[in-house]
Amino acid sequence: MTIGITGIGYHISTERVNTLEKAQLHDMTSTFIKNKIGFVSLARKASPQKASDLCVLAYDDLFQRTQNNALLNDIEFICVCTQNGDYQLPQTSAIVQDKLGISSTCASFDISMGCSGYVYSLHIAKSFMESNGFIKGLLFTSDPYSDIVDPKDKHTSFLFGDGATVTLLTDKPVYEIGNGVFETHGNYHKQLIKNENLKLQMNGRGIFNFTMLSAPDNVSKCLKKNSLSKKHIDVFLLHQASKYIIDNLCMRMKLDPVKVPFLAKDYGNTVSSSIPIGLKIYLDKTEIENILICGFGVGLSIASSIIRRR
């Protein structure tokens, strides 16, 4: 039995912060916003909404998109990737299970990962399901950073948007999950950190330097581990950290820019949701066979994998 990706639903919060207007308060130009940061607006959830609420909205989208709703019956497993769950405890996945009315026989747990979290979570969920003989599972990502960002901090308040996704994992996938490559650089953990009772703090230059040094090597190792070369990849779906990072990684790795999309200009960096939001675009494009996904950031952590059309 092979578990892979059968469908993806997502929710991007409808309220927006206009970064072009906000830039004027920080002596930043519209050119800098458009060409460097890349996010002209940021999605913002309603203040009372929690991570589980965004998960439910993503599930509603998946339900609407799924032609055969029976696929969503008898869910055996729920995983939520978040570092900003509803509460310190219990796990957000238990709250999602309750809100969706899924049977209590369903296994659930959370994964505390950020920007590389979707890649990690795919492999953890796949292994957990296969080892237990599960054939239907839901992998959620939901990390509402608006709850932890200081709106006056120009280093973080121009970057993050609120959204959530759910990936339907079954034994009859559209995309199979290849071999992953995972790295942890904990010596850089203070580059992106939220201390107790404080807002998020980030050293943008430090994260940029880390990404430029680490991501190309991680991607190369991933290609080699999957016996592929760059020419075999139809899309390089990189974590949507900023336009500047995407553009520079594209140049550093000597990739065709057409294959390296920047998709998040209207809603921002949605942390662990950025890759699956992008991945949804390609599920129905049968000409897209091999996708390389790469997440990098908080930890500092980096992970790459291959998604192959079955």
Same-domain check for residues 117 and 189: no
Same-domain check for residues 237 and 141: no
pLDDT value at position 71?
Answer: 72
Same-domain check for residues 141 and 192: no
Q: Identify the domain boundary among 125, 151, 174.
A: 174
Q: In the chain, what is the straight-line distance between the N-terminal and C-terminal CA atoms, in Å?
A: 14
Same-domain check for residues 232 and 170: no
* Alpha-carbon distances, residue 268 vs 15, 21, 264 (angstroms): 12, 15, 5
* Alpha-carbon distances, residue 279 vs 169, 233, 309 (angstroms): 14, 14, 12
pLDDT tens, 71-81? Answer: 788 999 999 99
Same-domain check for residues 152 and 193: no
Residue 125 CA to residue 4 CA, distance in Å, equals: 10
Same-domain check for residues 170 and 182: no
Same-domain check for residues 212 and 157: no
Under 8 Å between Cβ of 267 and 161:
yes
A 10 A CB-CB count for 67 gives 6
Same-domain check for residues 136 and 97: yes
Under 8 Å between Cβ of 185 and 177:
no
pLDDT value at position 26?
Answer: 83
Q: How many domains does the chain fold into?
A: 2
Strands, E, within 48-134: which ranges?
77-81, 107-111
The three-state (H, E, C) secondary structure of 188-213, written as one string: HHHHEECCCCCCCEECHHHHHHHHHH
* Alpha-carbon distances, residue 205 vs 98, 102, 164 (angstroms): 42, 44, 27
Same-domain check for residues 221 and 200: yes
pLDDT value at position 307?
Answer: 97
Q: Which residues pair with 216 in a beta bridge?
A: none
Helix (H, G, I), strand (E, B) or coil at 254: coil
pLDDT value at position 70?
Answer: 74
Under 8 Å between Cβ of 151 and 282:
no
Q: How distant is the alpha carbon of residue 285 from its chain centre?
A: 20
pLDDT tens, 235-248? Answer: 999 999 999 999 99
What is the CATH number for 200? Answer: 3.40.47.10
Range(s) of the domain holding residue 129: 4-174
Low-confidence ranges of the chain (pLDDT < 50): none
Q: Identify the domain boundary among 143, 174, 205.
A: 174
pLDDT value at position 47?
Answer: 93
Under 8 Å between Cβ of 165 and 281:
no
pLDDT value at position 310?
Answer: 87
Same-domain check for residues 28 and 130: yes
* Whether the predicted model's global pTM rises above the 0.85 cut: yes
A 10 A CB-CB count for 28 gives 17
Same-domain check for residues 131 and 202: no
Residue 192 CA to residue 161 CA, distance in Å, equals: 16
Tokens representing 302 are: 């980096």
